[in-house]
């Protein structure tokens, strides 16, 4: 069967529910935080994990308002919601160290989200060590790295992170990475936070070594934003919309109507993939304004992480610190 390309738990849930009445072992909840919609999906057991194709754990999806990227107040609102959500997943004392990892290739804009977030973080571990008398006691030590990708470094990202973990002994890892979405409308407008770790490159079918509590021995929280969508999925959705419109305009009971209704969607999906493969391969599509949007989203995520990791400070203090 044609594989629907998505890294979002909320989309995996929608896809499963389209074919089944309920999902065993999965709970979900929706709520509003001002203008921001928050969806919480919890995968409770192996049954739910198999149905969703994702590990057991909690996945929180934050839907950003459409004008977020052009409005500073809305960006701050989304950052605050992200910070609050992240804070509920973090269990650290003020003295404990957090390591933030920006995954991705900084030379490719849709994949540069992680490194861009790292460049906007409030990094304090060195200050706590070098000038402790000048730093407020409530400031948590935070360090960060953007390790690049295997093609640039010749090293698995997981290997680099494991070496850092062994050396500095952080108490928590927060990873940021670009994801792939099932729907174009979710690209650059959705933030997913999960407590199950991450596999770098999975968004573009280039899955690398897993970064999780299982592999590193400390909690790993993954933050991702879909920046691409699979071209075959887009083509399939477009044809579906055309067929639905043709069905709506056809006379019910006519030969043409019956022919349209009899089209097997799974067979259509397989045909689209096989036809596109020789020409575009596993083509991933991103909006033309991705450079501006990734810059904006990286700031939203960085401030959300700053709020969560530095509870003694408000957003105004954080912005002052960053200059």
Whole-number CA gyration radius for the chain:
21
Output the pLDDT for position 203: 46
CA torsion sign for 123, 151, 230, 48 is negative
**Cβ contacts of 260-266, under 8 Å, gap ≥ 24:** 265/240, 266/1, 266/2
Residue 200 has pLDDT above 70, yes or no: no
User: What does the pLDDT look like over 126-150, one tens digit per residue?
Assistant: 888 888 777 787 889 999 999 988 8
**What is the number of other CB atoms lying within 10 angstroms of the CB of residue 120?**
18
List, in sequence order, the alpha helices (H) in the chain.
9-19, 46-52, 72-89, 113-119, 125-130, 150-153, 157-168, 213-216, 231-249, 255-261, 265-280, 290-309, 315-322
CA distances from 208 to 153, 203, 211 (A): 14, 11, 9
Residue 37: name the closest of 227, 190, 229, 221 by CA: 190
Residue 39 C-beta-side C-alpha neighbours within 13 Å = 17
The DSSP-derived string for 237-257 is: HHHHHHHHHHHHHSPTTSHHH
- Mean residue pLDDT of the chain comes to 85
Find the mean pLDDT for residues 179-197: 90
The DSSP-derived string for 110-127 is: GG-HHHHHHHTS---HHH
Q: What are phi and psi of 125, to 5 degrees?
A: -60, -45
Residue 76 has pLDDT above 80, yes or no: yes
Q: Maximum distance among all alpha carbons in the chain?
A: 83
**Exposure letters 139-159 (e unless 16+ CB within 10 A, then b):** bbbbbbbbbbbbeeeeebbbe
Q: What is the DSSP letter of 301?
A: H
pLDDT band at 89 (very low <50, low <70, confident <90, very high): very high
Output the pLDDT for position 206: 54
* Region of residue 229 (left: phi > 0; alpha: psi -120 to 50; beta: else): beta
**What is the number of other CB atoms lying within 10 angstroms of the CB of residue 89?**
16
Output the pLDDT for position 1: 36
User: What does the pLDDT look like over 263-309, one tens digit per residue?
Assistant: 776 677 677 777 777 766 677 888 888 999 999 999 999 999 999 99
Find the mean pLDDT for residues 96-110: 94
Pairwise pLDDT comparison (5 vs 193), residue with the higher score:
193
pLDDT band at 164 (very low <50, low <70, confident <90, very high): very high
CB-based contacts of 283, cutoff 8 Å, min separation 6: 230, 231, 232, 276
- 92 forms beta bridges with none
Residue 5 has pLDDT above 70, yes or no: no
């Amino acid at each position: 069967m044609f594989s629907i390309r998505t890294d979002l738990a909320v989309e995996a849930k929608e896809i499963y529910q389209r074919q089944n009445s309920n999902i065993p072992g999965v709970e979900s909840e929706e709520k509003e935080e001002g203008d921001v919609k928050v969806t919480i999906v919890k995968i409770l057991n192996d049954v739910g994990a198999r149905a969703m194709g994702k590990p057991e754990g909690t996945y929180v999806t934050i839907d950003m308002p459409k004008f977020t990227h052009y409005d500073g107040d809305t960006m701050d609102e989304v950052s605050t919601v992200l910070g609050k959500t992240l804070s509920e997943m973090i269990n650290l004392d003020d003295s404990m160290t957090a390591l933030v990892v920006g995954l991705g290739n900084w030379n490719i804009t849709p994949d540069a989200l992680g490194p861009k977030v790292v460049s906007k973080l409030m990094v304090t571990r060195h200050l706590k060590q070098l000038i402790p008398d000048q730093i407020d006691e409530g400031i948590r030590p935070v360090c960060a790295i953007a390790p690049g990708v295997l093609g640039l470094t010749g090293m698995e990202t997981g290997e680099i992170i494991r070496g850092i973990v062994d050396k500095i002994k952080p108490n928590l890892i927060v990873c940021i990475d670009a994801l792939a979405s099932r729907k174009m409308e979710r690209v650059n407008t959705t933030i997913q936070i999960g407590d199950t770790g991450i596999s770098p490159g999975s968004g573009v079918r280039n899955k690398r070594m897993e970064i999780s509590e299982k592999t590193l021995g400390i909690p790993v929280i993954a933050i991702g934003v879909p920046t691409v969508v699979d071209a075959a999925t887009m083509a399939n959705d477009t044809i579906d919309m055309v067929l639905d419109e043709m069905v709506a305009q056809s006379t019910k009971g006519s030969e043409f109507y019956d022919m349209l209704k009899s089209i097997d969607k799974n067979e259509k999906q397989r045909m689209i993939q096989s036809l596109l493969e020789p020409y575009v391969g596993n083509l991933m599509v991103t909006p033309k304004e991705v450079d501006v949007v990734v810059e904006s989203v990286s700031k939203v995520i960085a401030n959300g992480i700053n709020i969560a990791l530095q509870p003694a400070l408000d957003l105004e203090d954080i912005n002052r610190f960053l200059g």
